[in-house]
Each structure stands twice: as C-alpha cells, then as structure tokens.
Structure 1
Amino acid sequence: MASLTVDFFHDVVCCWCFNISSRMRALDAEFDLDIQHRTFVLQASRAEMATRWGAPEDARATILGHWAACREVSDRPERVDIDAMRAAPFEYPHGLTAALGCKAAERLGGQAAHWDMADRLQRAHLTEARNVADPATVLHAARDLGFESAAFADVFEDPATRRAVEADRQYARALQVRSIPTLIVRETGSRLVNGPREDLAAQLRAALRLAA
C-alpha cells in the first residue's frame, strides 16, 4: 500500500510544473507515493489565450518572462530553451490539446502513462519548441511512448476523453485549486509548497507523521 496519495494538478504548458515533475518522480520512488495526475488547463483555446494575455506577441513575451524565472531555479535549466520558443513560428500554445493527450494516455495505460505523456509533451514544449496545441505533436509523442497510432488517435478524439479533462476541472474547483502546480495530500488535506526536492521531502515526512 502506498504511503500517501497525492493529487498532482498540472498543465503541459506550465514551466513550473516541468520543474516539479522530475522532483516528484524521485520522491515517488523514495516515499512510495500514489500520485494521481489531474489535468488543469490554464487556457483552453486561442480566444482564452487572447483574453488572458492579449495579443499573441504580448502573450509570448510575458510567458517567456515566466520561463526565465522558472529556469533560474530548475534542476535542469538547459532543458528550458527560451530562445527556441521565442523564435518558434506559431502562437504560444494553449494547453487543451496536450491535456487531451494526457487523458488519452491515462485511459489506455493508467496513471503511469499519463505522467509519461505529460513529461514527453513538456519536453516537446519547453525543450524542443514544438506546438503542443497541434494534435500532430501529441500523436507524435504517443508514438514515441510506444502507443499504437490508430488506437491512441481513437481515444484522443473520443468525446469521453474531453469529458475526463472536464471532470478534472470540476474536481479542481471542488478542492479550490486555482493555480498550478498544486499537490494535495489526501490523507491530511495539506498542500505541498513548490520548492527544491529537499523541501518537498520534508513536507512529505510531515504529512506522514500527521497521517500516522
């Protein structure tokens, strides 16, 4: 039995989620966690991007400023390629398409597959400067992870997958999740504060004591 169950809310286009995912992988092994991955789409369309950030060039400039701050505290700063995304020939992407890819992977392969897809798409986004709002990027990632192309495409396009993304959104609302990454320990209701691996480990040890 896992020591703690942690709901991990994240969005592929969130650089801070990229930082914390690798840390949680290490802590998952150390603490034998049951991590439940939840999509949390910050903006779900070009229109929502425009409402939140303004013109596409303004969105890119502002968000890449966030990337710079995130890169400063990353364990792998070389994997956050700001210059490549600055030069990318597409508008800064929304997160819905990637979320559908993560949920399709989950429906086919469970929580481990969701996490693998989220990490693969984050590398595509942050390291390779690919357009994760393009379904072709998601389908390419699925092939990289060993999914059979036609089977994955069927689930990716299935309306039930979109409903699963919406179910995560409703769950987030019920827990009053308003920002990401958010990690909630179910046994205690505590929320882990994003930070270095050592800080996260200390918080997990405290949660274990409370849950005992």
Structure 2
Amino acid sequence: MTPQTPTGHTAPLIVDFFHDVVCGWCYVMSPRLRQVAAELDIAVRHRSFVLQDSRERIMEAFGTMEKAKTEILGHWEACAKQDDEQRIDIEGMRAESFEYPSGLAGALACQAAHIIGGDAAHWDYFDAVQNAHLSQHRNIGNPSVLLDIAVDLGFARDVFASRMNSEAADSRVQADRDEARKLGIRSIPTLIVGPDLDRLQTMPAPALKARLQAVMQNA
C-alpha cells in the first residue's frame, strides 16, 4: 500500500542521492534524476559521499598527484561519452596547473547550502559546483572558488562562509558518510530507494523513470 499523508494525499517517494562534487558519473546522473523526480513528484534527499577527503588520501589511492589527475581524467573520458549534453571539458582540466582536488571542501559547502535552504538549495549548489569543476575546470578545492559559486547563486558570502566552516556542516558530512558505510555503499552515484532500500546507479533517464515507477507501484 502506498503511504498516505495526514490529509490523505499520497506521500512522495523519497530517494537518497549519495554523491561527490568531483564525481563525473554524478554529473551525468544529476540532471536525469532532476527530470525524473519532477515528472514523478519524487522527493530527493542529498547525501555527501567523499571519495577521498584529503591530498593524503588521494596519494594513497593513486600513488602521486600526477597519476591521480591522469587516471581521473581517464574516468572523465568515459563519463563524457555518456553525458547527455556533452558538458565535460577534459582538455580544459588537463591544462590546469592546480592539483586535482578532493571533494571534502565541496561537500562542506554543499552542506552549508543545505543548512541555509534545505535539499533544494543543496541540489542547486551541488550542480553549480559540478559545473564549475567538470565544465569550467575551476579549482573547487579552493574555498574562495566555492564562495564565489555561492554568491553567484544568491547566497550572502559571509553567511555562507560561516555555515561552510561550521561544526554543523562537518557533522552533516560525517553523518552522511556514516550512513553510507552502514548501507555498504562503495561507489557513486548511488540512489537508495523505497522500503526495500533498492540501489540504483547511473542509467539513462527512461530506465531510471521505469525503475522508480516500479518501486512506487510496489511500495
């Protein structure tokens, strides 16, 4: 039976979207999920999943920062082939001199947006940071860049900076990471859906819509 709200209306399906600002597959998936969520009246909750939270973790994963950038841009090539709008600028990022950033600063900034404006603000900010990273090849490991993006979206710079550097933002990031570990999530994007905690990953919008409709019908 589909759950009902106190007024008798059908409650929307809730999807938990685990993502990282530096994840190319998340960039591919986010607009598809936006489209399907609007069509099906689905509520999306945003969860931070930081692949590597520091330069040291990147070094552990790839050996050197140079190897990290080379291998990650190889992943970008696969993502670019699947991106519906061909937005990913691989050569632009390859030409940049800064080291490939970890996703932690971006996750904290996304949680700052969430504290200020909830899931909708989180999503808008997440998409803007991903665009800056994958399409504009900006250094989203730089807090000033993250604040510039926030201002472009209409946030007050000083308020956003305060939230981004707060214990509340850090706690939200850590809580999401703890939840991901509890669920055994190892790759992103991952969508956790419905009472059976179905797991969906990158797929075309029509397939995503069909899968979510099936969950809604069986809920």
When normalised by structure 2's length, the TM-score is: 0.94
1:151 aligned to 159, 167, 178, which one?
A: 159
Alpha carbons 2:15, 2:193 under 8 Å: kept:
yes
Deviations 1:1-28 (A, max 9, x none): 5431000000000000000000001011
The secondary structure found in structure 1 opposite 2:99 is: coil
Unaligned runs of 5+ in 2: 1-9
Tell me the equivalent position of 2:174: 166
Query: Is residue 32 from structure 1 mapped to residue 33 from structure 2 by the alignment?
Result: no
Tell me the equivalent position of 2:51: 42
Which letter maps to 2:155? F
CA positional deviation for 1:109: 0.5
Which letter maps to 2:141? A
Please tell me whether Structure 1 or Structure 2 has the larger radius of gyration of its CA atoms. Answer: 2
The secondary structure found in structure 2 opposite 1:49 is: helix
CA positional deviation for 1:194: 1.8
Deviations 1:17-41 (A, max 9, x none): 0000000010111011110000000
Residues 52-201 of structure 1 aligned to structure 2 (within 5 Å): 52-77=61-86, 79-201=87-209
Tell me the equivalent position of 2:12: 3
Q: Calculate percent identity across the aligned residue pairs.
A: 49
Query: Is residue 20 from structure 1 mapped to residue 42 from structure 2 by the alignment?
Result: no
User: Quick one: distance in 2 between partners of 1:122 and 1:160?
Assistant: 23
The secondary structure found in structure 2 opposite 1:8 is: strand
User: Quick one: distance in 1 between partners of 2:109 and 2:44?
Assistant: 18
User: Quick one: distance in 2 between partners of 1:20 and 1:187?
Assistant: 22
Q: 1:2 to 1:89 in 2, by over 3 A?
A: farther
Give the paired residue count.
210
Alpha carbons 1:117, 1:145 under 8 Å: kept:
yes
The secondary structure found in structure 2 opposite 1:89 is: coil
Alpha carbons 1:5, 1:187 under 8 Å: kept:
no
Alpha carbons 1:2, 1:34 under 8 Å: kept:
no
Alpha carbons 2:14, 2:45 under 8 Å: kept:
yes
Unaligned runs of 5+ in 1: none
The secondary structure found in structure 2 opposite 1:3 is: coil
Which letter maps to 1:75? D
CA positional deviation for 1:48: 0.4
User: Quick one: distance in 1 between partners of 2:201 and 2:79?
Assistant: 15
